[in-house]
Structure 1
Amino acid sequence: MCKKIFVAATGQNCGKTTTCLSILHMARKRHFRVGFIKPVGPKPTLFSGALVDKDAALMAQVYGLGEDLEFMSPVVLQPGSTRKILDGEIQEGRLLEMIERACAEMERQCDFLVIEGAGHSGVGSVVGLSNARLARVLNAPVLMVTGRGIGSVVDQVSMNLALFRQEGAHVGLIMPNKLIPEKRSSTLRYLRTALGRMGLKVEGGFNYHPVLANPTLQRLSRVLDAPLAGDPQEGQRIVDHVQLGAASAQRVADLLLPSTLIVVTSSRDELLVMLASLHQIPEYREKIAGIVISGLAPVSRVTRQILDGSGVPYLRVRNTTAEAFAAITGDIAKISAEDHAKIGLVQSLAETEMNFAAVESLAGGHEPAARVVGFR
């Protein structure tokens, strides 16, 4: 019998995908043959010639599960899918059959199966495939990932729990994420008191780590749809702060914090030249993660030569400075398969910050059928 668990969340950006990465890592350390399913994929991407959900593609790449791709993402929603299902062009029952068949096949192949929901408990309700319903249909106990805090977490859990219980799904574990390290113990103590009254167990997830929360230059290159110029090895550099280069050149330099991305309009030659020069100094190289050069005005030939000669990473966009700044600060960094440093950190932290024994206990099942290191 395969151990399986449905990883849900109280909303977006709680760290659900990071939690799935961690559970799969810990299960493989136990020499389980692992599998992953995203039953309903709301974010399609083309991977290995197939249209699959982005999270399924991520897990396939990180854990070498490409052979199971057709089962990992059985239903992928595309623009217009909701209307087609509501109009009867696509049968809801047919989609559910595809999901059940994929899950059964993965259970047959694996010792430990992670089923990742999409968003909060009600996502998918419009087409009859809510997370709560899928958890019940697939007979998988639910681990619910939340954000940090006390009152807000209890409120969000209460709302999501209602639908899971209405559908008859078993929510067995709450995992608060992005905890403030110095408040971790007290936060978990209060949450165990409050949520224990609802019959829920609580285990802490990850502490808040800026490295996981903040984007890399490579990520921002995709967000802004602009190639990364300068040192290509800096693509994995993590941006911890964003500064609008609107003040005097000296003031911008004075305000630099570690790993800062500076957004500068293309007409600020003196500031661009100064940043390129400062990038040559070790003290400032740590502070200057890169530059986003915005605006329609061309960068002067001499300034561009200085930038390219310095190796400072930069992105050239045609957006206004305000538009570029809003796009950067409004982006919630998601882990991609190319974020090797982040994935390595997630896996390392899973070994110290996650109580995998509690997760495994909830998942149930028996001992793995094969204990061959590296298998699957």
Structure 2
Amino acid sequence: MCKKIFIAATGQHCGKTTISLSLMHLARKKYQRVGFIKPIGPKCIQFRGMTMDMDAAMIAGVYDLQEDAHLMSPMTLTSGSTRQFLDGEIAPDYPREVILKAVEELEKKYDFLVIEGAGHGGVGSVVGMNNAHIAHLTQAPVLMVTGGGIGSVIDAVELNLALYKEAQADVRMIMVNKLVPEKKERSLIYLRKAFEPRGITVTSAFNFSPVLAHPTLQHVAHLLERPLKGDPNERSRICHTIQLGAASSQVVIDHLNEATLLIVTSSRDELIVTASSLHHMPDFKRRLTGLIISGHAPMSRITQQILEDSQIPYIRIDETSSEVYYRLREHVSKIGPDDREKIELINSTAERFIDFEAIDALL
């Protein structure tokens, strides 16, 4: 018999996909066959000729589940699909039927199945199949992921619990994520006082980690919709700091922080040449992850040559430095299948911080 768990969240950016990735890793240490499904896919990409949710595609790639990709993202919310549903062009029972069929197929094949929700409990309501309804439909016990804090966590959990209770879904565990280490124990004490008398276990996941919160070079290239040039082996490097190269070359170089993504105007030939020339030095390479070269002005031929010969990762874009800077500052990093550095960190950290046996015992 297949064990199932539904990964819910109180909202976006709680770390739900990170937890799903962690549980896949931990479950595979105990169970021979571990599967994954994201029933509602609001953010879709093309994967092996199929339109599927980006998180489902990432899990398929990381854990070599490509043969089940057609089942892992059964209901995608692509552009216009919500209007089609409300206009009656999509049958009212279609979301329920396609999700249930996919889950039943995966249950036959796997010993443990991770079912990841999409955002807060109400996501999917527009097609009559929100997260709470799916948790009840699949008869999967719910683990609800939330951000750190006390009062804000209680408020967010209560708001979502009402919807899950109405749908008759079985919420068994609240997992508090991104906790500040100094406040972790105190937060858990009070959250357990709030929820454990109601039969809901409260546990913790990861401490807040800038590494997990920051994007990789590949994510930056995807966000800016520009190719990443230079050494392709460095695409998974994490950018801890985003810095504008507005000062003199010497000042910029001297004040680089750890793993900096440097935004430099295309007319700053001397800074581009300096950064490119120093790329082979280990200490400098550690501090500078890559360049974003912005602006309409063309680089000189010799600068372009030095840049390319150095193999320093860079992205060329016509937008101004300030426009690029503010776009990146607003970006919240998602995990992709090529983010080897992040995935390895998540899995190793999960082994230390997440008690899978305790979770498994509740299912």
Q: Same fold (TM over 0.5)?
A: yes
1:266 aligns with 2:266: yes
Unmatched 5+ stretches in structure 2: none
1:164 aligns with 2:133: no
What is the distance in 2 between the residues matched to 1:301 and 1:67?
Answer: 47
1:92 aligns with 2:86: no
Q: Deviations over 1:196-247 (max 9, x none)?
A: 3554211111122232221111221221122222333221211100011122
1:322 aligns with 2:305: no
What is aligned with 2:128? 128
CA contact (8 A) 1:294 1:320 kept: yes
Q: Secondary structure at the match of 2:153?
A: helix
- The one-letter code sitting in structure 2 at the alignment partner of 1:121 is G
Say which structure, 1 or 2, has more relative contact order (CA 8 Å, 6+ apart): 1
Unmatched 5+ stretches in structure 1: 364-376
1:279 aligns with 2:249: no
What's the offset of the Cα at 1:251?
2.8
CA contact (8 A) 1:44 1:52 kept: yes
What is aligned with 1:210? 210
What's the offset of the Cα at 1:341?
1.9
What is the distance in 2 between the residues matched to 1:142 and 1:109?
Answer: 21
1:145 aligns with 2:139: no
CA contact (8 A) 2:31 2:111 kept: no
Q: Secondary structure at the match of 1:206?
A: coil
> In 2 relative to 1, CA 234–68 (structure 1 residues): closer, same or farther, beyond 3 Å?
closer
Stretch of structure 1 that moved more, 154-163 or 68-77: 68-77
CA contact (8 A) 1:256 1:287 kept: yes
| 1:184-195 paired onto structure 2 within 5 Å | 184-195=184-195
Q: Secondary structure at the match of 1:59?
A: helix
Q: Secondary structure at the match of 1:236?
A: coil
Q: Secondary structure at the match of 1:334?
A: coil
| 1:325-340 paired onto structure 2 within 5 Å | 325-340=325-340
Q: Secondary structure at the match of 2:114?
A: strand
What's the offset of the Cα at 1:265?
1.1
What is the distance in 1 between the residues matched to 2:231 and 2:58?
Answer: 26
What is the distance in 2 between the residues matched to 1:44 and 1:282?
Answer: 38
What is the distance in 1 between the residues matched to 2:128 and 2:198?
Answer: 27
CA contact (8 A) 1:5 1:362 kept: no
What is the distance in 2 between the residues matched to 1:282 and 1:133?
Answer: 53
What is the distance in 2 between the residues matched to 1:336 and 1:257?
Answer: 25
1:301 aligns with 2:322: no
Q: Secondary structure at the match of 1:113?
A: strand
What is aligned with 1:371? none
What is aligned with 1:114? 114
Q: CA RMSD in A?
A: 1.7
The percentage of counterpart residues that share the same residue type is: 53
What is aligned with 2:360? 360
What is aligned with 2:252? 252
- The one-letter code sitting in structure 2 at the alignment partner of 1:171 is V
What is the distance in 2 between the residues matched to 1:236 and 1:95?
Answer: 36
- The one-letter code sitting in structure 2 at the alignment partner of 1:271 is L
